Structures are given as C-alpha cells and as structure tokens.
C-alpha cells in the first residue's frame, strides 16, 4: 500500500459528479479494497453552495472556489467534471501546473486542446485519464491503450452518440417524424435542451478524434474529415434503407487503408445482420479490428449518470494503484514519428445513398442520372415507387416523387460536386438527402 | 524507461507460441514503442528441435530443456504456453520460485491450482497474467479487473467455448446432425481430435471459474455447480427452441442473487433478439452487468492462434510497463473476507426445456405431467405436434413422438429427482433432453 489515503478533489457535482460521489461514499469499502488504499473526497468545487445534494459530504468539503481545489497540497488527484472549453481549459492547466493528476470526461476540451494539455501533464509528471470521455461505460480507451497493444488497429466503426441512436431507433419503431422523437428524447433525458452537438455529429466526431489519436498516434482535427448529422433525415429514408436490407446508424469511422487514415462521421446504412445494426436506443457500440485479434465488439450505455461515473471511478482507481501514470507515459500522444497521414475529406471513398424529391415531370430522372454520370458516379440500384394518383382537389399542386439511388464506390469530392449541380435542378425540391453505405 | 531490454522466455512454440513469436519478431518496433523498451526472446523451450518453425529466431534460442528457461537469470518474464496440468504445474512453480513473472493461457491449470500458484507468485513478488486463458482476443480479464472496478458485478452470462458455439450454429444453419457438424468443426480446425472438454462444458466451466473468482472474489470448484454439455442435443431440439423464439447457446452463467452466487454451464435457450443469441460460429461473447455501469457486452474470437497471441502479448506489454504487477497485487485471489457463498447445485433456480421421446400410447402424457407435478414442477408450455401416420410396412414398429415442455421456475434438485423417475417410465425412450431457459 503506497499511502494510507488518497485525497481527491472534485470540480463539478452535477449529474456525473453526483454519481461519482455516490459510488465513493456508498461503496467506500469496495473502492478501498480495489484501490489498495482509502480514497477521500477532500474538496468539491460547486457553483451554488445552497443547492440540495444527494450525497452527504463532511462540512467544509463544498466550496465555490476552484482555487481551493487547485491550491490544496493534500489533493493528489482531481476529477475535473466541468464541461465546455472555457474555463475548463484554464482550470485543467492550473491543476496540472499544481502537479495534480486529472481524471476527466470532457471530450470537447481534449479534442480541441488535448495535445497542449497532454504536453503540460508530461512536463509536470502528471497524468490525464479520460475513459469517461468516450462511450461512457464502455472501456474503449483502456481496450485500445492496453488490451490491443499487440495489434495494429485497422478499423474503428462506432456508434458513439446515444441521443442520435435513440432518435434513429425510435423514428422507425414508432413510425414517427424526427421532430416528434427529438421531443420524446428530451422528455426522457436522452437529449439536452440544446441537442445540436449530438444530432449534428459533432459529439461523435470529437470522440472519434480521441479514439483515432490513441489507436493510430495521429492528431486529427474536426475539420480534417467529413461530418454530417441526422437532422436532414426523414422517416422515409429509414424506411427505404430498411427495405434495402439496412439499418441507419450515425457511424463514426476510421479506417487504415494503404497506410493512410480515412475518417468520417455520417448517417450510414449498415446491413441488418451486423452487430452495429442491432444496437438500439441510447446504447453505444464500437467495432474494433486489429491485425492479430480480428474483429471485436464492445457495447454498453454510452452516457448517463452511473455508466459515466463508473468510468471516472475506474480511472481514479487506476491512478490510486499507479497504473494510469504508467499507461499515460506510453500513450502515442506527442510523437509525430508514427503518425499516419489522413486522407483529405474529398478523397474519402464510399458508397452513397441519395434521395431526391423529384417533381413528377418528364426527363427528371434523366437529368439526375446525367449529372451523376458526368461526375463519374455510377449507380448500383434505384428505387422509385409508383406515384400515387392525385385527388381531384390536388390537381393544382405538383406531385413530389421520391427517388432513391444507391451508388457504387466514389469519392466525397465527386458527390459534393454532383450535389452542387443537383441543387440547381428546377425539377428537384430540396434537400437532397445523402447517407453513407457501409460495405462491411 | 525502466531498462534497455526485457528478456523473455517462451515455453512452447506450438500454435499460440508461434503466433506470439511472430508478433514479437515481425512487429518489434510497434511492441518496443508500446512496452517502453525492447522485448527480446532469449530462450524458447520446445519438445523437438528439428521441427520447422515459421519464425526465425537467433541460433541458440531454442532448447529442449525447460530448465534452461527457468535457470536463465536474465529472463524476467516467461510466457508459459504449455497446456494441461502436469508438468505445467511443476514448471509454473519453478518459474515463480525463480522469481519470474508468468504469462499463461492455461485455464485448466489456473482453474485447478490457481490459488496455490497465485499464493506462490505473491510470496516471490511475481505476477501471473492470464488474459489469454479466457475468451482469447476478448479482454474480459482486464475489463473485470480494471474497467469495472467501480462496480459490483451482478451477472456474467457468456459464450466461452467456440467449438460448441460453432456446432450449435452450423447444425441449425445446415440442417445437420451433431455428428456431421462435429466432423466439419474438426476439418476446419474449430474442434480438436478429442473434443471432449469443449463439448461437455468443461472448458467453458473452467473459464467461468476464473471469471467468477475475479468478479466476486469467490473460489469456486468445477463440482460446485451444474455443468452440462451439448452432446445430448439433437437438431430437433434446436428447431423446437427456434420455433419457441429462442436460440440455443452453451451458456456459462454466474449471477449474484441475494448475496449468494448461482453458477451453471448448460445449453440454454436465449431469446432470438438478445445479443448473445446473435453470436455465431467460433465467436465468444460476454454479457457483464455491473451495478453502476449497467449491461455491457464484449465479443470477438475466443480462440485461434492470433487472437490468443494478441492477448498473451498484451499481458507481456503490461508486465514490461509494470501495470501487470500492480494489477496482480489488487486481485481478489486470496481473501476469504469478501468471498460470496455459492448456492448448492440442487438449489439453483431456473426454467427448463425438456424433450421426451414418448411412445404413442395412451396415458403417456398424463404419466409425464404426473411425475413433474408431484415434484412441484409446473408447466409453462407444451409442444406436441401431430404424429405422422404410419406407413403400412411400419406397423410393427412403435411410433416415437417427441413431447417438448417448458417449465416454470424450479430447482435443479427437483428436475433431477423428476428425471430419475422419468427414466423409469416404460412409455419413454431415453434420453430425456434438458436445457436451461434464460429469463432475460
């Protein structure tokens, strides 16, 4: 036993912080046994002292001053559970400068400023542990860092955002519109009041950036790869995909192809029979391929109070035991030597699903296929169901007919160029809906 | 960096040993980077020096004497890849007494003599790492030891034997008998020449023993819980299960119920829609439930050269980095304090599937239900399809009609007692086929 007691500071006692405090206080005996020493919550920085807390902490533990945590020389580890970039970034810098190990769930901060913070941690002989930043209760960070260490990872395909997965699942299950299910997700606590980052693919992309850096030693920025959310999808798209044998998932993908990395976050058609297609509601899954191990799958709750708290406390125990410090030293965070280059977004190659809202006029189908053909995009299949007969009282309206096309493999650049032309076609009503198709 | 080079000994250069040697020699740069130092294969003990090897090792590396490995003072870690109990046990003892860390895939040895060996390792300040002993490429040992450390595990349900899973999958897929598919599995290398341990549930039970000890701190013996293989199953049983909405899996289960552990390894009816039902062929899956994290799933290849080698090398890197030693100290291997008691086999409670081969005589169904009823076993459902009309030339044979019964929850003891009586029924032809039904 290294020490009689490990003193811990918490910054933030919200959803996750509250969960962490519950585990540490309600299961202290279990945690002590596994950490090899007692873990004591010494200071907790909160915004509002008067708020009622679910956890009983000794008098004087709560403070409104983050500096009380930073400047406490007895505190060795800080659970930094503040979201957003600022002041989380400055707080993290001060904590590391004060020589404290940091456990965090802040993916946005690590995605944006990870390199700088990892560097700072190394300089001050501290570690940053962030299992909770990606996929909540699924231990994908330690799987990549430790368990797959013998492998060259060759592919990551993942459902990393529970909110959008819940929406996609329930739209089809309840035969409901995107808007209806988004409201339901908000009622159930699966979507925040402002769900932008979840549904536009940013949250999944930030997590993919962290996984990609660990798996391939490559620092990627959000702008380095195509990113598309689920906001433009309609129920009909999920139904067409279903008819074609696919389930639609917001998939975050990094693939190693010819010593370069292809990344994207896009709504993707996944074959019904694949494990990824069978992850429903707010769950996450990561399909990881390694050159020795083959394909492995990991799934569980990707968010929520207790799954995330479980990951934070696992990291804390790792620090207490001393493992986290050893692991941090071996992470491929700084080295440029082994970094693999990233394929430019316009050169990434995929198959695509496209849905057009065509006015029921002569030659519209020829117009579409002409534009696609001129951009070198060839078609694998087409769905156009017979248009319904118009009611008498609807004859003054123009009938919009959906046309669904599946392309052969082509580049993102060609698709974008074709889309730009398609947007100018008078015989189409916007939007052109685009999804990726997983070949696997 | 702790040392310029970590010297490693190998005992066994068969399937797994060969895979390990390939990774260490073909990907030396990668392994050095992740281990923080070079890893050198210094000695390899083999049975036959003249055998052709797929890996090129420096002259003088191979030896037929295990003592050469044990007595080499430069060797810090030994990859002990010898199967069976003896001389593996004595070799392991000598290695630990010589102060060497041991990485092994030998589940049978650890299941049988783990306590004694773990104790010996502790006395000599060494560690035993055995990720490869359970579920091959799936890192379930480190998930339980590290990633789930904040949790009380409440349930393990797992497909841990690829051979039997391959057989069950292919029997139904190819509409073939057990015997036909067993031969196919042997041709494909998914089953050994003597597949007894795989198909009778012993292999899965040994792995369950190791997982249970880690997850619950409880030392269990093979005889402490019901164990049943897949040898008595017929294709018709898989079809009846399918008709009822279930897939048959050889499931290894430990559940924490009212502060006691219920364990069993049995062919089990798993609802089609569950993730465990969708693991096909030689794959493994573990469904792990923790009180904080909820349900998580892990799947991948449970055996085979490179998946197992991947796990061995991950352990080796863990030793090189120093993590394995820290983890080993915290394992709940010796302490009786926290060990949970195991429910006696006859008191375990489940639902059961029973198939009887009934002679087409009056009162046979009444006889069966009378026996079950007298043992307090009540029926949830019954399938008896209409018997085919006899051909004229078959009138001298007695028609055997299958009757399938699904029971409500009852104890293993009651089922065993009822079975004993049922075996005496003249109107039944043996065997009575029994499977467990998973309630989840």
Q: What is the pLDDT of residues A208-242, one digit of tens each?
A: 999 999 999 999 999 999 999 999 999 999 999 99
CB-side neighbour CA atoms (13 Å) of A74: 12
Q: How many helices (H) and strands (E) does chain B have?
A: 15, 16
Distance in angstroms (rounded) separating the CA atoms of residues A420 and A415: 9
Which residues of chain A have a CB within 8 Å of the CB of B146?
139, 142, 314, 317-318, 323
- Whether the Cβ atoms of residue A59 and residue A74 lie closer than 8 Å to each other: no
Residue in chain A lying closest to B284 (CA): A296
Mutation target for A interface from B149, B295, B303: give the one with most A CBs within 10 A. B149
Cα–Cα distance between B302 and B305 in angstroms, integer?
10
- For A424, counting Cβ atoms within 10 Å of its Cβ (0-12 exposed, 13-18 middle, 19+ buried), the class is exposed
Structure token digits, residue B286:
């573990």
Strands B410-411 and B349-359: antiparallel
* Beta-carbon separation of A301 and B322 below 8 A: no
Paired strand residues for B78: B9, B102
Please name the helix (run of DSSP H) or strand (run of DSSP E) that holds residue B114, with its range, or none.
helix B107-123
Q: What is the pLDDT of residue A1?
A: 43
Running DSSP on this structure, what letter comes out for residue A81? -
Structure tokens at A429: 């009503």
State the smallest CA–CA distance between residue B318 and chain A in angstroms. 7
Helix A323-330 crosses helix A107-123 at what angle (to 10 degrees)? 90
Residue with tokens 């619950």: B216
Active-site residue list of B = 207
Q: Which residues contact A265 (CB under 8 A, 6 or more apart)?
A: A201, A204, A205, A208, A225, A226, A227, A228, A250, A251, A252, A253
Phi and psi for B357 in degrees, rounded to 5?
Answer: -100, 95
Question: Shortest CB distance from B23 goes to which of A292, A299, A311?
Answer: A292
> Best of A293, A316, A319, A332 to disrupt the B interface by mutation (most B CBs within 10 Å)?
A293
Q: Specify the pLDDT at position A46.
A: 95
Query: Nearest CB to B294: which of A35, A307, A317?
Result: A307
The burial class, CB within 10 Å (0-12 / 13-18 / 19+), for A33 is middle
pLDDT at B305: 94
pTM of the model: 0.95
Strands B379-383 and B400-407: antiparallel
Structure tokens at B438: 């998973």
Contact B309 A317 (CB under 8 A): no
Contacts of B304 in chain A (CB under 8 A): 294
Stretch B121-144: mean pLDDT: 97
The pLDDT of residue B1 is above 50? no
| 8 Å CB contact of B314 and A147 | yes
pLDDT tens, residue by residue, B205-242: 999 999 999 999 998 999 999 999 999 999 999 999 99
Answer yes or no: are the C-beta atoms of B2 and B36 closer than 8 Å: yes
At B82, phi and psi to the nearest 5? -90, 135
Task: Copy the structure tokens of residue B279.
Answer: 């693991």
Under 8 Å between Cβ of B2 and B35: no
Residue B365 distance to chain A (closest CA, Å): 40
Residues A359 and A425: beta-carbon distance below 8 Å: no
End-to-end CA distance of chain A: give it in Å, rounded. Answer: 48
Q: Is B58 exposed, middle or buried (0-12, 13-18, 19+ CB in 10 A)?
A: exposed
Q: Which of A97-106, A267-276, A420-429 has the lowest mean pLDDT?
A: A420-429
| Structure confidence by residue, pLDDT tens digits, B100-119 | 999 999 999 999 999 999 99
Kindly determine whether residue B149 and residue A317, on different chains, have CB atoms separated by under 8 Å. Answer: yes
A242 contacts A169 by C-beta, under 8 angstroms = no
Known catalytic residues of A are: 207
Q: What is the pLDDT of residue B360?
A: 83
Residue that wins the pLDDT comparison between A400 and A208: A208
Ranges A137-146, A352-361, B356-365, B393-402: which has the least confidence: B393-402
Q: What average pLDDT is seen over chain A?
A: 93
Going by the DSSP 8-state scheme, the letter that residue A59 receives in this structure is T
Contact present, B436 and B427 (Cβ < 8 Å): no
Minimal CA–CA distance to A39: which of A2, A92, A94? A2
Is the pLDDT at B3 greater than 80, yes or no? Answer: no
What residue has token string 């000695």? B43
How many angstroms separate the CA atoms of B141 and B331, rounded?
Answer: 11
Residues B324 and B101: beta-carbon distance below 8 Å: yes
Q: Is residue A296 classed as helix, strand or coil in its secondary structure? A: strand
In angstroms, how far apart are the furthest CA atoms of chain A?
A: 84
Distance from C-alpha of A290 to C-alpha of B388, rounded to nearest angstrom: 53
pLDDT at A395 over 60: no
Sequence-distant (6+) residues with CB within 8 A of B306 are A292, A293, A294, B19, B23, B137
Give the C-alpha distances (Å, rounded to integers) separating A7 from A14, A72, A76, A77, A312: 20, 10, 6, 7, 15
Whole-number percent of chain B with pLDDT over 70: 96
Domains defined for chain B, CATH in brackets? 5-133 (3.40.50.720), 140-301 (3.30.360.10), 347-437 (3.30.70.260)
Which pLDDT score is estimated for B334?
60
Which residue intervals of A1-155 are DSSP H helices?
15-26, 28-35, 66-70, 88-97, 107-123, 140-142
Helix/strand/coil percentages in chain A, nearest 5: 40, 25, 35
Asked whether residue A396 carries a pLDDT value surpassing 90, the answer given is: no
The per-residue pLDDT for range A200-217, each reduced to its tens digit, is 999 999 999 999 999 999
Q: Given an 8 Å threshold on Cβ–Cβ distance, is B142 in contact with A147? A: yes
pLDDT of residue A29: 94
Token reading at B240: 């009846």
B319 within 8 A of B101, measured Cβ to Cβ: yes
Q: How do A38-45 and A62-63 pair as beta strands? A: parallel
B292-334: pLDDT as tens digits: 999 999 999 999 999 999 999 999 999 999 999 999 999 887 6
Contacts 24+ apart (CB under 8 A), B53-62: B53/B13, B53/B18, B53/B21, B54/B18, B54/B22, B55/B13, B55/B18, B55/B21, B55/B22, B55/B25, B56/B25, B57/B21, B57/B25, B62/B13
Note the pLDDT of residue B390.
59
Q: Which residue has the higher pLDDT, B11 or B398?
A: B11
Q: What is the mean pLDDT of the segment spanning B335-353?
A: 85
Which chain B residue lies closest to A21 (C-alpha atoms)?
Answer: B150
For B146-184, what is each residue's pLDDT tens digit?
999 999 999 999 999 999 999 999 999 999 999 999 999
CB B303 within 8 A of CB B389: no
Size of interface A-B (CB pairs under 8 A): 176
Distance of CA B252 to the CA centre of its chain: 7
How many CB atoms within 10 Å of residue B369? 16
Percent of the residues in chain A that have a pLDDT greater than 90, as a whole number: 85
Nearest by CB to B299, from A27, A296, A326: name it.
A296
Q: Do B139 and A138 touch (CB under 8 A)?
A: no
Quick check: B236 and B357 in contact, CB under 8 A?
no
- Residue where the block lists tokens 């279990």: A30
Mean pLDDT check: name the lowest of A115-124, A296-305, B29-38, B389-398. Answer: B389-398
Tracing tokens 């199967």 back to the chain, one arrives at B83
Q: Do B150 and A23 touch (CB under 8 A)?
A: yes
CA torsion through residues B124, B129, B130, B132, sign: negative
Averaged confidence pLDDT in chain B? 93
């Amino acid at each position: 036993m290294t020490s009689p007691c490990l003193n811990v500071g918490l910054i933030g006692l919200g959803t996750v912080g509250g969960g962490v405090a519950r585990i540490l206080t309600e299961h202290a005996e279990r945690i002590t046994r596994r950490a090899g020493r007692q873990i004591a919550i010494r200071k907790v920085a909160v915004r509002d002292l008067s708020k009622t807390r679910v956890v009983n902490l000794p008098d004087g533990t709560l403070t409104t001053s983050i500096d009380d945590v930073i400047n406490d020389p007895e505190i060795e580890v800080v659970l930094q559970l503040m979201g957003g970039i600022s002041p989380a970034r400055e707080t993290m810098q001060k904590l590391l400068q004060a020589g404290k190990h940091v456990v965090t769930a802040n993916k946005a901060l690590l995605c944006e400023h990870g390199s700088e913070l990892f560097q700072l941690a190394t300089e001050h002989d501290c570690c940053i542990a962030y299992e909770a930043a990606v996929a909540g209760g699924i231990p994908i960070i330690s799987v990549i860092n430790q368990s797959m260490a013998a492998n060259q990872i060759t592919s990551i395909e993942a459902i990393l955002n529970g909110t959008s997965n819940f929406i996609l699942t329930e739209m089809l299950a309840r035969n409901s519109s995107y808007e209806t299910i988004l409201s339901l997700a908000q009622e159930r606590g699966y979507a925040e009041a402002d769900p932008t980052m979840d549904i536009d693919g940013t949250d999944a992309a930030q997590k993919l950036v962290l996984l990609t850096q660990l798996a391939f030693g490559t620092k990627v920025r959000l702008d380095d790869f195509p990113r598309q959310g689920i906001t433009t999808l309609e129920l009909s798209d999920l139904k067409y995909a279903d008819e074609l044998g696919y389930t639609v998932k917001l998939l975050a993908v990094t693939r190693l192809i010819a010593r370069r990395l292809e990344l994207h976050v896009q709504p993707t058609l996944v074959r019904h029979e694949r494990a990824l297609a069978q992850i429903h509601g707010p769950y996450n899954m990561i399909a990881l391929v390694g050159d020795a191990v083959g394909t492995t799958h990991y799934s569980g709750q990707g968010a929520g109070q207790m799954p995330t708290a479980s990951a934070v406390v696992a990291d804390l125990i790792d620090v207490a035991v001393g493992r986290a410090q050893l692991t941090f030293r071996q992470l491929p965070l700084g080295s440029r030597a082994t970094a693999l280059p990233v394929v430019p977004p316009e050169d990434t190659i995929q198959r695509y699903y496209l849905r057009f809202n065509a006015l029921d006029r002569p030659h519209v189908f020829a117009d579409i296929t002409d534009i696609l053909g001129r951009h070198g995009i060839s078609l694998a299949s087409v769905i156009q169901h017979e248009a319904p007969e118009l009611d008498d009282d609807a004859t003054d309206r123009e009938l919009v007919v959906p046309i669904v096309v599946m392309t052969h493999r082509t580049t993102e650049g060609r698709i974008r160029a074709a889309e730009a032309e398609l947007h100018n076609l008078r015989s189409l009503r916007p939007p052109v809906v685009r999804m990726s198709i997983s070949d696997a």
